[in-house]
């Protein structure tokens, strides 16, 4: 089946999911991000790569890190950025999603960055936009959060180098996590030595065997000798029914404390996609401690999103140019 994310020459046109993308392309995203990281550290934090392009942030769900770093990344590339406030848009007057897109497209935009509560929403939009428009998934339901996964890969590579010798434990609410799914695909594609998921049975998907990760229910066994600990937020907004006795009990059984972190390798790094819930999935002393790279992840998100947006629009004409 044709991967709609790639053109006939194998170039990135949309970035909707990590699943099915070749290793070379993921490595190219990381290498391109590396080249942009120098731009972000300069006093004039801009390159003219996307000058004259218009990028629209379309967020149907709350976000702090993703929306802001997409906006900063687009501005660093010299693009014009519009943030649509969906809550005050004409969708509240009954306009359909597709009609909204057609109207925004008529304003000659070049890219939509989309966050939506429904799995598959970004893919649906990519199937309906004009050929000159790129779509980047900024998180769809439980399905995928590909730029988060790539900024996590970038952070791991910066701290640890090669993926091949690494053991990585992803701890917490795997069932509702689009981040965990994208991370597992990315880690396996990049050749990580061992990927573990550590969670109670109620927070694992039924098809956990097909995820491509070793499953642990005991946190102490799951953390033993790992190089990277990724802890996840309990996605209460996606939970139906009581999957846990209480947050307190969850913390007692699965919270990342200093004592538990001592089971990992002494140089292990601790990651979290954010937002963090202190005292629920992570102890403050760990979140703010010397092994935490949580805020580095946020910073790295700018360079990685610059890489993804520039690659998706590379060599692509405007609406008028595509027709000629
Ligand atoms: N990691 C992440 O997606 O955070 P936001 O919800 O703040 O964008």
Mean pLDDT of the chain: 93
Alpha helices, DSSP H, located in the chain: 23-41, 65-76, 97-105, 121-128, 146-160, 178-189, 219-223, 247-254, 258-261, 284-287, 294-313, 319-323
- CATH 3.40.50.1370 domain span(s) along the chain: 23-144+300-322, 146-295
Q: What pLDDT digit, counting tens, does each position of 160-206 carry?
A: 999 999 999 999 999 999 999 999 999 999 999 999 999 999 999 98
Tell me the CA–centroid distance for residue 276 and ligand 1, in Å: 10
What pTM was computed for the model?
A: 0.94
- List the structure tokens of 186: 């990315």
Ligand 1 atom nearest to 64, measured from its CA: 7
Burial class (CB in 10 A: 0-12, 13-18, 19+), 130: middle
CATH number of the 23-144+300-322 domain: 3.40.50.1370
Q: What pLDDT digit, counting tens, does each position of 6-21 carry?
A: 999 999 999 999 999 9
Ligand 1 in contact with 274 (CB < 6 A)?
A: yes
CATH number of the 146-295 domain: 3.40.50.1370
Q: What pLDDT digit, counting tens, does each position of 36-50 carry?
A: 998 878 888 899 999
Ligand 1 atom nearest to 68, measured from its CA: 8
Cβ pair 148, 124 in contact under 8 A: no
Ligand 1 in contact with 160 (CB < 6 A)?
A: no
**Which candidate, 275, 321, 317, 301, places its Cα nearest to that of 136?**
301
User: What average pLDDT does the segment 54-75 reach?
Assistant: 96
194-198 and 214-216 strand pairing: parallel
- What is the rounded CA–CA span in Å between residue 215 and residue 209? 8
Tell me the CA–centroid distance for residue 1 and ligand 1, in Å: 31
User: What average pLDDT does the segment 262-283 reach?
Assistant: 96
Ligand 1 in contact with 231 (CB < 6 A)?
A: no
Ligand 1 in contact with 68 (CB < 6 A)?
A: no
- What is the rounded CA–CA span in Å between residue 156 and residue 304? 13
Ligand 1 atom nearest to 67, measured from its CA: 8
Q: What pLDDT digit, counting tens, does each position of 73-111 carry?
A: 999 999 999 999 888 788 888 899 899 999 999 999 999
pLDDT exceeds cutoff 90 at 240: no
pLDDT exceeds cutoff 80 at 235: no
Ligand 1 in contact with 146 (CB < 6 A)?
A: no
pLDDT band of residue 31 (cuts 50, 70, 90) is: very high
């Amino acid at each position: 089946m044709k991967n709609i994310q790639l053109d006939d020459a194998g170039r990135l046109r949309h970035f909707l999911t990590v699943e099915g993308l070749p290793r070379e392309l993921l490595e190219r995203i990381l290498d391109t991000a590396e080249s942009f990281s120098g731009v972000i550290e300069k006093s004039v934090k801009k390159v003219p790569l996307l000058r004259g392009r218009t990028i629209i942030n379309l967020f149907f769900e709350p976000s702090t890190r993703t929306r802001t770093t997409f906006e900063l990344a687009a501005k660093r590339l010299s693009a014009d950025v519009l943030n649509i406030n969906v809550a005050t848009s004409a969708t509240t007057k009954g306009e359909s999603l597709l009609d909204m897109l057609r109207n925004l497209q008529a304003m000659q935009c070049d890219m939509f960055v989309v966050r939506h509560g429904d799995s598959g929403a970004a893919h649906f939009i990519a199937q309906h936009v004009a050929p000159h428009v790129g779509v980047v998934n900024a998180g769809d339901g439980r399905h995928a959060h590909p730029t988060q996964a790539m900024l996590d890969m970038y952070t791991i590579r910066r701290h640890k180098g090669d993926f091949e010798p690494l053991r990585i434990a992803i701890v917490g609410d795997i069932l509702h996590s689009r981040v965990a799914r994208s991370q597992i695909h990315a880690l396996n594609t990049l050749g990580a030595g061992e990927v573990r998921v550590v969670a109670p049975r109620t927070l694992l998907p039924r098809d956990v065997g097909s995820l491509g990760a070793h499953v642990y229910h005991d946190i102490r066994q799951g953390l033993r000798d790992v190089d990277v600990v990724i802890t996840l937020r309990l996605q209460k907004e996606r939970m139906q029914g009581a999957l846990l006795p209480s947050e307190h009990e969850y913390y007692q059984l699965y919270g990342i404390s200093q004592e538990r972190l001592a089971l990992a390798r002494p140089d292990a790094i601790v990651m979290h996609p954010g937002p963090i819930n202190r005292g629920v999935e992570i102890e403050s002393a760990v979140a703010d401690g010397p092994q935490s790279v949580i805020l580095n992840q946020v910073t790295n998100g700018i360079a990685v999103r610059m890489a993804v947006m520039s690659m998706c629009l590379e060599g692509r004409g405007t609406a008028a140019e595509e027709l000629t």
